[in-house]
Structure formats: structure tokens, C-alpha cells
Structure 1
Amino acid sequence: MSNISKIISKYKNDLFNLNHVVGVGYGLKEKNGRKTGEKAIVVLVDKKVPQHRLKSKDIVPFSVDNYRTDVIEIGELKLQDMRTSRLRPAQPGVSIGHYKISAGTFGALVKDKETGDLLILSNNHVLANITNGVDDRARKGDPILQPGSYDNGNKPDDVIGYLERFIPLKWSSGSGNVCPVAAAGEKILNFILHLFKPSYNIRFTKSSGANIVDCAVARPANEKAVSGKILEIGEVKGVKEPSVGMRVLKSGRTSGLTQGEVKVVSATVQVKMTETEQATFEDQFITEPMSKPGDSGSLVVDRNNNAVGLLFAGSEKATVCNRITNVLDSLNIEF
């Protein structure tokens, strides 16, 4: 490798002077899409052009020193900041969010089943600020920013739409229980406990039940400002149920295009919503780790671009998704 590195260093400037060349490195030569096993100096180009259409001075040499060359087309290289930038029309897969939150992902462009109006799909916690429907965290008509505020989105310049509807989230809080009976029970039990363990406390929390989805939709401020083509994936072709072993993909604000395998279906999980709140979700499916913070709201599709789920939670070892049929039914929407 040290010899090849010296050759690359010696000739890279000459190769960069050739039209369309954007890089040079080491690899194995390919012929008809198959690796030959032969070591090669790989010349990376933004676009492959037939040799007869090139000027003689722009033709990649057959060999460099004692190594054959191989030409690979990789396109024009750019900084990958599109997902966190202002994009019009905005595509699914980029940064978006309720004006009070940091940023999540624009999941898909869908239609209202009754009116046919276009709507932006993502999570409740992305478009509706994790609201349970009776608090002051969000309400219909709230501004939705693209990019999200974490990515420097601001009102009014970056308003892409307005919160239309959401499925309230049910969560349990560690902030205590206002029920008088529970409060009295806590007081009695803590009095007894403190006789033996002065530094411990018992606290009751009210269970609000389980969730099936974490989803919401927003109405675009201008339908021409949004696109249905998911970044690096394309148009949604249909809907399919997840199954163990299925390979799936997502396009998200933080980690971009990733894929993984469905490992578990019909799962019930407990998800930490904030530092003091957690929620239970039923009928979820779990994939290999394929997300990072900020990817919430991404649409999960199979290899044929059939929608399978809506990504909403995860860790370094797994990603958790709502079944897309539950999302569509809950919000009365369709692709």
C-alpha cells in the first residue's frame, strides 16, 4: 500500500487536471461489473463519457506506472447538508418541526381521505410537540418550520405549513399524582418507609394507557412548496405489512439513507419521551439500528418502495416503528 500511496501522490495532480475527474485512489479493477482481483489505480469521475467524445488530453491513461487504471462514476461530490437546509420544494427525508421543538424528519406527503388535500406526515413529537391533546404544547394551526429550529429554521421565513391534526400521546409523568386518595396513600407509605429507609420515597404515577401510533399531519402553506418524492428513495408505490426478516429503508434528517432488517413484530415497548415522562406503545415493529436522533418521523419502506412504517424511536441497538396501516387509519389519510 505504501508504494501505491506514493504513486497516487505523485500523479494525482495530473489526473485532477483531466476533465470530469473528481478523485483518485486504490481499488480492484472491475470488468462488466465484476471485480477481477487485479490491483488498480481507481480514477473517480463525476460522469463517464465515451472515449471518442473526450479530448485526447482528458482521456484517463491505460496505466499509471505498473498499475492498470479503472474509472468509476460517482457523480458530483457535495457537502451533505441538504437535509438540514431550507429546501423548496421540501422533500420527505429533510429537517422539519413544530416551532417549539428542535428538529425531526418530514416523513411523507399524504392525502386526506375525505378532502384529497395534501398533508405533511411525521410524528406527533415532531409536528405537535409531544402533546397529549389537553396541554398547551401544541394546537391546530401552529407553525411548522422547514428546516426545524435546531437547523436555524425560524418564523416567518421558514414556515412550510401549519399543524392540522394529531393523535394525542398518552404518557406517564414522574411529577406526582394529584388524586387525593393516591396522595394520602403516598404519605402513609412514605411515613412507614422512612422509619427504615429515610432516603427513599414512594411515588404513585397514573398510567394513561398504551399508544399505537406517534403521528401527526400538517397542512402545507403552499402545495407547490412540497414534493412527494422521498430524498434518495423516490415515490411511495404502495403499502405493505412488516414481517420478520424483511429488509427496509428510511431517509432521515440525521443519518440519511439507511437500511436494516425487521427483527420483531407485534411488539410492546416502553419509550422514554422526556427526562420525566415515558409512554407505552403496542403493536410496533423493531428493526436493526438504522436511525439517530433527528430521524424521527421518517417513512420506512421495503425495497420496492412500499410504505411499511413510521419511525419514531430507537437506540444504538434498535429502531422502533409504528405500523403504517395504523398511522393511515388513525389520521384518515392515504398515499
Structure 2
Amino acid sequence: MPTTQDYEYLLDCENVIGVDYDEAENEVRVFVSRKLPPDALEDEDDVEKRVREVGDTEVTVDVVDAGYGEEREGFDPLATLEVVPEAATGRSDRHRPVPGGVSEANAELSAGTGGPYPARITEDADGEASEAVWSDAVGPHDLVRLSNNHVYARSNEADIGESILQPSPHDGGGPDDEVGELVGYVPIEDGVRVDVAARSVDREREADRYHELDGAWPTDVRRGEYGELRGETLTKTGRTTGVTSATVEATSASVEVEFGAEQGTVRLRDQLITDYMSEGGDSGSPVFREDGELVGLLFAGSFQQTICNRIENVERQLGVEILLEEPGEDGGGGADEDDEPDVPVYTTTFETDLEVDLEGATLDLESVTFDDRPSPGATVSATVVVAASEPGAYWLEVDGERRTLEIEADDSDRALEFDVSIPDGADRSVALAVRGGAVE
């Protein structure tokens, strides 16, 4: 059976910037920068005629308009545009700990999005199984955060060790906002399958959460059967357009992307294409299925489409393993086997992410207690006690539910009750996101 690469000759046609072959439907989907009637095309630029000329009489040809309205060499990478759109509310703020899906970029760039965390460098990261360039300062089992090469490594132009800022420079990030350094990337070149780079992390300042998404996501990492995603709905969280969803149009596409004067137009293979769900500055966004499975890393698009790397290719070509939660200090996925109790212990351990404004009024977390014994799949009532530095209006968010409260002069602390859902797959511990601060 043919593959998408068998139809890459169509990328030589005028206006064609992407092509995908769907074996299940025996269909070639061709993405064009502008759609013209057949009588306006030369024979060598008519994709229907080109396909028939090579003897493919049974395959269906579907031409999809990318919406540029002009002839182009390729799609746009979504972090190198000259005009960067305004960020969605809260996305350009300074976040500590840092979640995925907010403004992040190289100190010499404009704006992008921080992506999947935690990703663990594998044993063969600098071997034959990986195509990455890595810093000597990191090695197997170290944790990193991912985004695009063109967000962290400036499309191959950055030196290892360059500063990564949160928020991005365009959003006001400066030297005091450094959250890590560039430590690895896969070079952008023809035939590559990913646009990915990694930065170093300070684990105390990172959150394995994704801004404004379900706290239990990712529920899994997809490592195969990508053809089944055609027609499904995917959701991303990113700096510019926030949380948006779109339908998968292609699952193994070869696309041309314009990376600027230095890199020119580069052909990437094996890409996911959805309809519109992103704009400039969303590059690096993590992309999920509706059940929370991590499937892609967003990097490019047009006025009509969004293009994402398959997350399995990101892992393989960079030489990392994306984890579902931050591991224990020993590098494992949780508690050591030697620490396993002989009898059940009905307790819950919390990772508490509390964001506060260190200037002016602050809100501090005093305690979190459950009224009933937590168990996987249950919804239990939690009492959260906070204390304020001074009277005023404050906000408190627990497990995605946000409330406001007034603290009077004679109040030493305040207790609020929240309903907390325990994930079905929870084992011996559960991470509960608790955040709060002053209302400006």
C-alpha cells in the first residue's frame, strides 16, 4: 500500500504546502495556500491530473484550502511571526510554579508556549535512537520541560545554555523571569518529524499541571495507532488562544513550513493536522484527546489549520520519556517498593502549588483536611484553611474551583469547604492543586 511519502511529489505543485494519504479511505488530502479553479492552473500544478498521470485511478483526491489567499512556500511556525497577537487572559502572567500552556520563550525570541512536563531524559538520549543535540550539563533521568525548537532554540540558531523566560520577552519577561536554560533540541532540517527542544528545570518551581485543563490530565501518552485519530476532537492549551479544540483532518501528513531567512522552507513528515485552534504564540502547546491522553506538540498552522508533532516522535527523536506525574526524588514514578506498608494506611499526600503575590497582601495555606476517607474515584469534601497578611478581598482555587472571600481585620484565618474528585487511577497519593492570592 502507498504511504504519504509516495505523494510528496505533489508538494512541487503551485500553492501545495501539505499532503496526507489515508490508507483506510484510500484518499489523498492536499493542503493548498489558496484554492484555484482547475482552469486557472497549469497541468503540472493540477494535483488531480498529477495523481491520475502516475496511474492512481482509484484514489480520491481532496483539496483543502489553508486560507492564506496567496501563493506561499509553507505553513507558519506559530512563534516567529512579526506581529504577535495578544495573549489570552492570565496566560502572559508570571506563574510560579510554572504550568504547561502559558507564555514561555527563549530570551532572544518574542513569545511562545511552555509544553509537556515532566519529561525524563532516557539512557540513549545521545545515542543512535535519538537525533538530538544535548548539553553536557544534563544526563539520563534528569527532568526537563519541552516546547518547540523554534521557541526554545530559535530554529537551530541558539547556543546551548541560552535563557528561557516565563513569561516570554514579548509579554514582559526579563532576566528575573528565567525558569531554565536550553539543554537540548532536535535540529530542524528537511525530513525531520519534530520541532522540539528542552529546557532545564528547578523542580520546586515547576507544576505538572496544564493551565485551565483538568488536573488529572494527561491520563496517558499516545504511542501508536495515530491513524485512528482522524475525525476525533483534540484540545490544546496555549498562550494566545487558551483552551481550544478542533477536529483531526490528517494523521501522517508531510508539510512545508516557512522557518524564516536562516532555515528557509523545511519539510516535516508524519504530522497531525487539525482545523483551526491556534494562532501566533501558541507554538509549544500540548495537545490532548478528549479523555486527557497526550497526543501531540503544536508547532505550526495557518488561518484554517493547526499542525502538531506526534508525541511518540517527540519522545523518540529527542530521547525523552514523558511522565504522567512528577517522580519521587529517587527518580522513580512514586514511592519505593521498600517503603510499601504491610497493612493499609488510609492517608493522602499532597503536592501543594500555592501562587501568591509577594508584594502587598498575601494569602497563606494553613492546612487541608478531608472530612471522609479519600478513595479512588470518589468525591470527598475537603476543608481548606487559609490566613491573610491583611484585611481585604482574596481568591482561593482548589482542584479548579475558584472562590472569592473577604478577610476582616479581626480574622486570623478562614476555613472553606471544597468538593474534591479523586482520580480513578489514584494509588497511594494524589496531587491537589491549591492556589490563591489577593484580588487587585
TM-score category (smaller protein):
0.5 to 0.7
The 3-state SS of whatever aligns with 2:204 is helix
Q: In the aligned structure 1, how far is the partner of 2:261 from the partner of 2:120?
A: 35
Residue 101 (structure 2) aligns with: 93
Q: How many Å apart are 1:299 and its aligned residue?
A: 0.8
Q: How many Å apart are 1:317 and its aligned residue?
A: 0.3
Whether 2:221 is the aligned partner of 1:231: answer: no
Q: How many Å apart are 1:81 and its aligned residue?
A: 3.2
Q: How many Å apart are 1:325 and its aligned residue?
A: 0.3
Residue 312 (structure 1) aligns with: 299
Amino acid in the other structure paired with 1:126: V
Whether 2:269 is the aligned partner of 1:287: answer: no
Q: CA contact under 8 A between 2:104 and 2:165: conserved in structure 1?
A: yes
Q: CA contact under 8 A between 2:239 and 2:282: conserved in structure 1?
A: yes
Q: CA contact under 8 A between 2:88 and 2:239: conserved in structure 1?
A: no
Q: How many Å apart are 1:278 and its aligned residue?
A: 1.3
Amino acid in the other structure paired with 1:229: R
Q: In the aligned structure 1, how far is the partner of 2:161 from the partner of 2:106?
A: 10
Q: How many Å apart are 1:117 and its aligned residue?
A: 2.1
- Structure 2: gaps spanning 5 or more residues: 1-86, 124-139, 324-440
Which of 116, 122, 138 pairs up with 2:158?
Answer: 138
Q: In the aligned structure 2, how far is the partner of 1:210 from the partner of 1:290?
A: 25
Equivalent positions of 1:1-335 (< 5 A) are: 81-109=89-117, 110-114=119-123, 115-131=140-156, 137-155=157-175, 157-170=176-189, 209-220=190-201, 222-233=202-213, 234=215, 235-240=217-222, 241=224, 242=226, 243-274=229-260, 277-334=264-321, 335=323
Q: CA contact under 8 A between 2:235 and 2:287: conserved in structure 1?
A: yes
Q: In the aligned structure 1, how far is the partner of 2:317 from the partner of 2:164?
A: 21
Amino acid in the other structure paired with 1:130: S
Residue 183 (structure 1) aligns with: none
Q: TM-score, normalised by structure 1?
A: 0.61
Instruction: Provide, for residues 137-182 of structure 1, a one-character-per-residue CA deviation record: whole Å limited to 9, x for no partner.
Output: 2121111100110111011x00000111000111xxxxxxxxxxxx
Residues paired across the two proteins, number: 212
The 3-state SS of whatever aligns with 2:207 is coil
Higher helix share: 1
Q: In the aligned structure 2, how far is the partner of 1:313 from the partner of 1:82?
A: 23
The 3-state SS of whatever aligns with 1:261 is strand
Instruction: Provide, for residues 294-313 of structure 1, a one-character-per-residue CA deviation record: whole Å limited to 9, x for no partner.
Output: 00000111011111111000
Q: In the aligned structure 2, how far is the partner of 1:269 from the partner of 1:125?
A: 16
Seen in structure 2, the aligned counterparts of structure 1 residues 297 and 80 have a Cα distance that, compared at 3 Å, is closer
Q: CA contact under 8 A between 2:236 and 2:287: conserved in structure 1?
A: yes
Q: CA contact under 8 A between 2:88 and 2:241: conserved in structure 1?
A: no
Taking only the aligned residue pairs, the percentage that are identical comes to 39
Q: In the aligned structure 1, how far is the partner of 2:235 from the partner of 2:274?
A: 10
Q: CA contact under 8 A between 2:88 and 2:240: conserved in structure 1?
A: no
Q: In the aligned structure 2, how far is the partner of 1:244 from the partner of 1:324?
A: 16
The 3-state SS of whatever aligns with 2:104 is strand
Q: In the aligned structure 2, how far is the partner of 1:267 from the partner of 1:124?
A: 19
Q: In the aligned structure 2, how far is the partner of 1:280 from the partner of 1:298?
A: 21
Q: How many Å apart are 1:116 and its aligned residue?
A: 2.6
Amino acid in the other structure paired with 2:221: V
Q: CA contact under 8 A between 2:152 and 2:164: conserved in structure 1?
A: yes
The 3-state SS of whatever aligns with 1:224 is helix
Amino acid in the other structure paired with 1:252: G
Q: In the aligned structure 1, how far is the partner of 2:141 from the partner of 2:109?
A: 28
The 3-state SS of whatever aligns with 1:293 is coil
More moved, 238-247 vs 311-320: 238-247
Amino acid in the other structure paired with 1:215: V
Instruction: Provide, for residues 235-264 of structure 1, a one-character-per-residue CA deviation record: whole Å limited to 9, x for no partner.
Output: 312122432011110000000000011111
Q: How many Å apart are 1:285 and its aligned residue?
A: 1.2
Q: In the aligned structure 1, how far is the partner of 2:89 from the partner of 2:174?
A: 18
More moved, 109-118 vs 320-329: 109-118
Q: In the aligned structure 1, how far is the partner of 2:296 from the partner of 2:279?
A: 16
- Structure 1: gaps spanning 5 or more residues: 1-78, 132-136, 171-208
Q: TM-score, normalised by structure 2?
A: 0.47
